[in-house]
Homo-oligomer: A and B are copies of this chain.
Amino acid sequence: MGTMVSAARVKLSDVARDAGVSAATVSRAIAQPGLLSPETLARVRASAQRLGYLPDGAARALASGRSMTIGAIVPTLDSAIFARALQAMQATLAQAGYLLLVASHEASPAAETQAVRALLGRGVDGLMLVGAERAPETTALLRTSGLPVVLTWCGDGHFTAVTIDNAMAGRLAAQHLICLGHRRIGMIVGHLQFNDRQRARLAGARMALEEAGLSLPDSLVVEQALTLAGGRAGCAMLLDLDDRPTALIGGIDLFAIGCLEEAHARGMAVPDELSVVGIDGLDMSAHVSPGLTTVHVPTGRIGNLAAQTLIAMVARRPVERETLLPVELVVRRSSQTLPPH
């Protein structure tokens, strides 16, 4: 044996010869076994097995026009949110024989365009994207490609989408705090530039406050990078205000956890001196101290449904234009009634 230079890979025609059938028959044995007689099928399978035949995906894709691959483009893989959604997608796709091709754009519309181009070129059968906001060029690319596309978290009313009501999430967080008697509420959000989810959450919170005769002035909103440290920094800024808020909403749970930390570092008791509410419902949030009140988002289901929807679209089965998944307030210890002044 030793280091043998990779033996020429077994190909379909080898199997055909070995089994004494035509190439067409072997192909059918793989893709439409029902068309073959049991004996032929068994013979072909035996040969394929014995020779260790593995179909060449590129050739199949070229000949059939389907790559059995779905692409997903997310802001980053390094986030509990997208990691969970992708894991769910991947699991669902794998069951259907699809593979997941991933790309990230790090909040850059141009990078997203590039990623779309790359995935389109690679011949994915469908594409999952996050949010509805993107460079017009990207949208044009998507449209002219005619490829099945599913937007997630936010829809645009045109592409198929699996979404949550981000504005409602913001609203629930705010209403909860309002009900507890808070009147001065601050919010930390991600950079709003290329992030419609954060914009919607902010808008929802603001609207809830206004409906209650209150307001969420820009002075009480701070934009931060989507990290725990960003949340902590945002919290610090808000707490340093002359008329500091009595409650804070994190546009993502990570922000809220950062707030918990900053409050702790300052010796401010949560929830006694500061109430904190997040949005996302990370596993982690149930485990921090105090437990984080948050608006839970069914992240895994978004991934599962996006995958299922894409699979259905590839198969030309009808699908919901937009699936809206419910968000839900989960009250824990980080928020409480505003103590009497």
Spell out A's residues near B (CB within 8 Å).
5-7, 52, 54-59, 61-62, 67-69, 76-80, 82-84, 86-88, 90-91, 94, 99-104, 106, 115, 117-123, 144-146, 227-228, 232, 257-258, 261, 264, 283-284, 287-289
Q: Indicate if the CB atoms of B76 and A87 lie closer than 8 Å.
A: yes
User: Closest CB of chain B to A8's CB: distance in Å?
Assistant: 11
Residues in chain B near residue A79, CB distance under 8 A: 83
Residues in chain B near residue A284, CB distance under 8 A: 228, 284
Residues in chain B near residue A68, CB distance under 8 A: 122
A-B residue pairs in contact (CB < 8 Å), sample of 6: A52-B144, A54-B120, A57-B122, A58-B61, A58-B62, A77-B90
CA distance A102 to B77 in the complex (A): 11
Q: Indicate if the CB atoms of B90 and A104 lie closer than 8 Å.
A: yes
Q: Indicate if the CB atoms of A78 and B69 lie closer than 8 Å.
A: no
CA distance A227 to B76 in the complex (A): 22
Residues in chain B near residue A283, CB distance under 8 A: 227-228
Among residues of B, the one whose C-beta sits closest to the C-beta of A228 is B287
User: Closest CB of chain B to A172's CB: distance in Å?
Assistant: 25
User: Closest CB of chain B to A303's CB: distance in Å?
Assistant: 9
Q: Indicate if the CB atoms of B86 and A94 lie closer than 8 Å.
A: no
User: Closest CB of chain B to A230's CB: distance in Å?
Assistant: 12
Q: Indicate if the CB atoms of A69 and B101 lie closer than 8 Å.
A: yes
Among residues of B, the one whose C-beta sits closest to the C-beta of A98 is B118
A55-B102 contact given A77-B87, A261-B287, CB 8 Å threshold: no
A121-B57 contact given A103-B99, A104-B87, CB 8 Å threshold: yes
Among residues of B, the one whose C-beta sits closest to the C-beta of A97 is B118
User: Closest CB of chain B to A262's CB: distance in Å?
Assistant: 10
User: Closest CB of chain B to A50's CB: distance in Å?
Assistant: 14
CA distance A108 to B68 in the complex (A): 23
Q: Indicate if the CB atoms of B122 and A104 lie closer than 8 Å.
A: no
Q: Indicate if the CB atoms of B121 and A54 lie closer than 8 Å.
A: yes
Q: Indicate if the CB atoms of B121 and A55 lie closer than 8 Å.
A: yes
Residues in chain B near residue A287, CB distance under 8 A: 228, 232, 257-258, 261
Residues in chain B near residue A104, CB distance under 8 A: 87, 90-91, 94
Q: Indicate if the CB atoms of B101 and A94 lie closer than 8 Å.
A: no
Set B58, B83, B103, B118: member contacting A78, Cβ < 8 A: B83
